[in-house]
Amino acid sequence: MVTKEMTIGELLMTYPNVAPILMEVGMHCLGCPSAQAESLADAAMVHGLDADLLVEKINAFLNA
């Protein structure tokens, strides 16, 4: 299960198949060193997204 406290790096290492979802919502710098260490909540805030909704979307995708 994905949480908003996970870093982008941790998320992509554990679930590489979610990269297209992150790209779709505007997170295009997934490989950037700073993005790798940023939490999903922090990345969502920077991109003007609701972290809880993003986590819901990712978990729904993973559970499908």
Encode the chain (64 residues) as per-residue pLDDT tens digits.
Answer: 999 999 999 999 999 999 999 999 998 877 788 778 899 999 999 999 999 999 999 999 999 9
Question: Which is nearest to 54 in space by CA: 9, 16, 15, 2?
Answer: 2
Burial class of residue 27, CB neighbours in 10 A (0-12, 13-18, 19+): buried
8 Å CB contact between 6 and 40: yes
Whether this model's pTM surpasses 0.75: yes
List all residues 6 or more positions away from 30 whose beta carbon is below 8 Å from its beta carbon.
Answer: 8, 12, 19, 22, 23
